[in-house]
């Protein structure tokens, strides 16, 4: 096989994907198809043709594979990556020029004028390459025409993680293990943000426990010279918007998050007001998982997002993109809204174990679909600069 790419919504890094579409260039289509249907996790072969076949994996996911000709590869990649809305816009632009586009190329009369790669096709329309995460017909073509496409944030630009948990609350690894893992990732800082005690479900820290924890983190920080260990907490927002830890202890934290884990059903006005009241507390830096949703499990609570973003700007605090693939909260649409309104965001893993530090990449995907650049995200900066940004 000479080239393989997973197209479709997977390539656009959508939050969820229905099935997978794989495109292949190969000297021998039959050998590629043979190799594909003999993959060890195949539960069922639904179709097997000369250049195309469909399998169902044991996980239940359907995977289509197409072998395409080299001269059509870019056209096929564009076509099968979508989105449909993006492709329709491109098709209309072709029609205006008297051209035809399909998955084999761009044609003038019968002649293929582009098709081998995506860049060449975009160039035909006087457009720069548009990265798959932006192909949703949400202004990316206009931005490309105007030369205003954002330089999207990348995983390598992340300098630290601002939400993690340890065995002091509901995490699975110790402070030391988390610090070690973050150091191995090359981070400049790691915030330890265990839950406060109000949360009935799991063990959390009360004021005394958190005070002790702050000392422990400071002590351990001495033994990790290459990474800043930050004392933090994820403080519970109570029903009336007050917090469940006293100001004296919150004042000692490097990074203070607040979050809602109860009373999801309040009406929109009350919920918005409640959360803004929590942000009124001058010790709060970041609102964690701002809408509380869990993908395919729990709907976001009803919030006036524009009002919340403005409130965060006015108070000098930030909202989070929670990178956990079950949350991805903020939604990409709201991340873009925040950017456009002038609010920077934090991308945090909410890791409850060392392995979960790696979900940062899903937060990056979410940020990219929200058009964010490195500048829009606070934790692309070294701790020294983040520390300044967090001052209210």
Q: Which residues bind Zn ion (CB under 5 A)?
A: 259
Q: Closest distance between Zn ion and the C-beta of residue 364, in Å?
A: 20
Query: In terms of CB distance, is 190 or 259 closer to Zn ion?
Result: 259
Eight-state DSSP code of residue 266: S
> No. of H helices and E strands in the chain?
14, 15
- Cα(99)–Cα(97) distance, integer angstroms: 6
Strand-pair partners of 4: 24
Query: In terms of CB distance, is 25 or 259 closer to Zn ion?
Result: 259
Closest residue to Zn ion using C-beta atoms: 259
Query: In terms of CB distance, is 250 or 259 closer to Zn ion?
Result: 259
Query: In terms of CB distance, is 77 or 259 closer to Zn ion?
Result: 259
**CB atoms inside a 10 Å sphere around CB 113:** 13
Q: Closest distance between Zn ion and the C-beta of residue 264, in Å?
A: 13
Q: Closest distance between Zn ion and the C-beta of residue 288, in Å?
A: 5
Long-range contacts of 208-217 (CB under 8 A, 24+ apart): 209/168, 210/245, 210/249, 211/249, 211/252, 213/168, 214/249, 214/252, 214/253, 216/175, 217/175, 217/192
Q: Closest distance between Zn ion and the C-beta of residue 327, in Å?
A: 9
Query: In terms of CB distance, is 78 or 235 closer to Zn ion?
Result: 235
- Cα(351)–Cα(163) distance, integer angstroms: 7
CB 213 within 8 A of CB 205: yes
Q: Closest distance between Zn ion and the C-beta of residue 233, in Å?
A: 11
CB 231 within 8 A of CB 254: yes
CB within 8 A of 181, min separation 6: which ones?
173, 354, 357
Query: In terms of CB distance, is 259 or 323 closer to Zn ion?
Result: 259
- Cα(198)–Cα(206) distance, integer angstroms: 8
Query: In terms of CB distance, is 320 or 365 closer to Zn ion?
Result: 320
Q: Closest distance between Zn ion and the C-beta of residue 193, in Å?
A: 9
Query: In terms of CB distance, is 89 or 262 closer to Zn ion?
Result: 262
CB 255 within 8 A of CB 286: yes
Strand-pair partners of 5: 23
Q: Closest distance between Zn ion and the C-beta of residue 234, in Å?
A: 5
> Helix, strand, or coil here: 216?
helix
Residue found by looking up tokens 């729990």 in the block: 298
Q: Closest distance between Zn ion and the C-beta of residue 26, in Å?
A: 47
């Amino acid at each position: 096989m000479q080239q393989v790419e997973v197209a479709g919504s997977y390539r656009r890094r959508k939050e969820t994907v229905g099935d997978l579409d794989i495109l292949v260039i190969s000297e021998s289509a039959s050998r590629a198809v043979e190799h594909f249907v003999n993959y060890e996790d195949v539960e069922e072969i639904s179709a097997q043709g000369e250049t195309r076949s469909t399998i169902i994996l044991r996980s239940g996911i359907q995977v289509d594979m197409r072998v395409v000709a080299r001269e059509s590869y870019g056209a096929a990649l564009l076509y099968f990556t979508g989105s449909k809305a993006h492709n329709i816009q491109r098709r209309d632009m072709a029609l205006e020029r008297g051209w035809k586009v399909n998955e084999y190329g761009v044609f003038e009369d019968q002649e293929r004028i582009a098709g081998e790669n995506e860049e060449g096709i975009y160039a035909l329309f006087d457009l720069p390459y548009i990265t798959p995460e932006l192909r949703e017909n949400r202004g990316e073509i206009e931005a490309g025409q105007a030369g205003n496409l954002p330089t999207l944030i990348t995983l390598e630009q992340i300098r630290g993680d601002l939400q993690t948990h340890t065995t002091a609350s509901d995490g699975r690894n110790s402070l030391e293990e988390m610090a070690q893992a973050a150091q191995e990732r090359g981070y400049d800082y790691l915030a330890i943000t265990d839950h406060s005690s109000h949360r009935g479900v799991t063990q959390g820290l009360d004021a005394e426990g958190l005070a002790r924890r702050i000392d422990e983190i400071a002590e351990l920080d001495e033994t990790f010279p290459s990474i800043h260990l930050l004392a933090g907490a994820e403080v519970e927002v109570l029903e009336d918007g007050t917090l469940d830890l006293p100001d004296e202890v919150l004042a000692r934290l490097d990074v203070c998050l607040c979050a809602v884990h109860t009373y999801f059903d309040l009406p929109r006005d009350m919920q918005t007001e409640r959360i803004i009241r929590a942000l009124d507390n001058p010790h709060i830096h970041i609102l964690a998982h701002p809408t509380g949703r869990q993908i395919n499990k729990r709907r976001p609570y009803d919030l006036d997002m524009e009002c919340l973003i403005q409130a965060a700007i006015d108070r000098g605090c930030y909202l989070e993109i929670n990178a956990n693939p079950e949350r991805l909260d903020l939604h990409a649409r709201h991340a873009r809204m925040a950017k456009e309104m002038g609010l920077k965001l934090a991308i945090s893993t909410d890791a409850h174990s060392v392995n979960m530090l790696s979900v940062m990449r899903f937060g990056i995907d979410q940020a990219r679909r929200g058009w964010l650049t490195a500048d829009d995200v606070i934790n692309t900066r070294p701790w020294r600069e983040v520390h300044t940004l967090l001052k209210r």
